[in-house]
Amino acid sequence: MNRRFFMLFFVFVFTLALAACTDDSNVDEAVEENSSGEETSENAEGEGTGSGGDLTVAMMDDAVTLDPHGSNDSASAQVRRNIYETLVHQEVDMALAPGLAEEWEATEDDVWNFTLREGTTFHNGSEFTAEDVKATLDRVRDTAVASEVAFLFEMISDVEVVGDYEVNLHTEYPFAPLPSHLAHNTAGIMSKELIDQDYQSALDEGGVDMTVEEYYALREEGGSDYEDIAERISEHTGNVIGSEADGTNHLMFESRAPGDNTVLQKFEDFQGGERNFETVTFRVIPENGARMAELETGGIQVAGDVDSTSAVRVEEGEDTELVEQESVRMSYLGFNTEKEPFDDVRVRQAISYAIDRDEIISGVYDDMGIKADGPLAPDVWGHDENLEGVEYDMERAKELLAETDVADGFETTIWVDEDPQIVDTAVYIQEKLSELNIDVQVEQFEWGAYLDRTAQGDHEMFILGWTTVTADADYGLYALFHSNSHGATGNRSFYTNEEVDTLLDEGRTEPDEDARFEAYSQAQEILIEEAPAAYLFHTNFAIGVNSSQVSGVDLDPVGNIRLENVSFN
């Protein structure tokens, strides 16, 4: 089926659906549209200077928070990774390199030693030392913070300050992918000074008459008193850090207008080399056409989230360049396995068999991606290429559904965010499931509300993506499918399987690489069979660059826009 016919098919389906109802559309707007997508912007200054320019990057979604421990979304990561440095740096090709740690080694099965970089200062002027590392890693594991990324660091049992520029990380069990986890954007090191301010503010707002030093001492002791205080201040932690970000990377926080833009300015004392920009503004423009128009007219220099329908336009533009990158992202249709009828594995399998992934890739994504056989992309360590995924088979889907209590079909919903291609994918699935007499309503949400509602388990089906940022199977599977990860951590399917839990625990604790791989292979086999999600595709990432204004913009397999080598033409 060629793309032109496929998109006409979508229009036809949508038109029929819209005509069938008088005061309600086939796609419900669950919340109001973001009002920040106006097609107005001043042209960047510094054009033609080579350096000293003001760079504007347009993104589809707004950052949720500047607090590294406050969210695990890609929009926030894009902004935060320019503010904070991590102990271990991840290169564009996903290789690990020195960051705030110059070197590291596992001195014992459960102890990692890190030698830290000297002479580094935070944006607030304070000196970077081992105390900042301890404060950061202690905070992300603090129950008072209730971080949805705590799973990345929960294996750390103690952060031992050996000297001003040396720490030992003690783990509860051998954990081979620890360096990869410490390269994750949520492992960005914050100044202890800012963390202290955040805690003191939370203590004050929570009505707790205690200094931050007293709180730290209580946290070390643990027990019911600590748990009580942690609960009282939990809703107040992150308020300071979310608005006064302080890191050591090449950009420092200047201003933020939620829903519209975040402005960062060049950090003059950055140690990692010269940068050619003075400011970088991350502007929120949800609508694809508006982003492309701004890119072509020079209102922005970089357009993130270029969809496949806009790719040719960018590639063939006189002053624009397309940067495309294969990804470690998996897009999936998730099922809330705690709700009927999705608690029946046969229902989930039937829906998975009813989806022709090749049609979605060709019709919606213009072949910018590959079919997903399972939850891990091919470039992720632990992906087993010998496992067979689900092939499109409508007859098999009908047979499976006929065995269930909903053999005659049922009504349900698919939740989506504001991404047009995700909406198109949902509409395609809606049409295919109608052949099973499953009546699907597509409901659309603003990004922040979408994450909140799916984390609470309010949904039935939903479409989302997961990028295995560490390129290791632990991150790609534990957050999405371990029972400890229900909700905001990543397991929005609320899937529970004791055997899968055991295999994922084994995969993260087993030091032998072959044994780890076998554990992950077995886990993937079960996940394909039990289908807590229908694994759809691995899309390519793409961004647009106004090549008449700037050059040197890179894109990595995680989808991060890399600005290190940007220069103005």
Ordered by start, the domain boundaries in the chain are 3-30+327-539, 53-65+246-326+541-568, 87-236
CATH class of 3-30+327-539: alpha beta
Cα(507)–Cα(300) distance, integer angstroms? 44
Angle at 193 between CA 241 and CA 161, to 5 degrees: 115
User: Residue by residue, what is the 3-state secondary structure of 204-235?
Assistant: HHCCCCCCHHHHHHHHHHCCHHHHHHHHHHHH
What confidence tens digit (pLDDT) does each residue in 108-129 have? 999 999 999 999 999 999 999 9
According to CATH, the topology of domain 87-236 is: Dipeptide-binding Protein; domain 1 (3.90.76)
- d(C-alpha 493, C-alpha 461), whole Å: 9
Give, in words, the CATH class of 53-65+246-326+541-568.
Answer: alpha beta
Give the C-alpha separation, 247 to 207, whole Å. Answer: 29
Q: Please check the confidence at residue 105 and state whether its pLDDT lies above 60.
A: yes
Q: What is the mean pLDDT of residues 513-517?
A: 93
Band the pLDDT of 33: cuts 50, 70, 90: very low
Question: What pLDDT score was predicted for residue 535?
Answer: 98
The pLDDT tens digits of the residues spanning 306-353 come to 988 899 999 999 999 999 999 999 999 999 999 999 999 999 999 999
Q: Which residues lie across from 535 on neighbouring strands?
A: 332
pLDDT at 273: 85
H helical segments located in 49-149? 74-80, 130-140
Q: Are 3-30+327-539 and 87-236 equal in CATH topology? A: no
Q: Give 187-240 pLDDT, tens digit per residue.
A: 999 999 999 999 999 999 999 999 999 999 999 999 999 999 999 999 999 999
Confidence (pLDDT) at 244? 87
Cβ neighbours around 528 below 10 Å, total: 19
Whole-angstrom Cα distance, residue 474 to residue 180? 10
pLDDT at site 43: 37
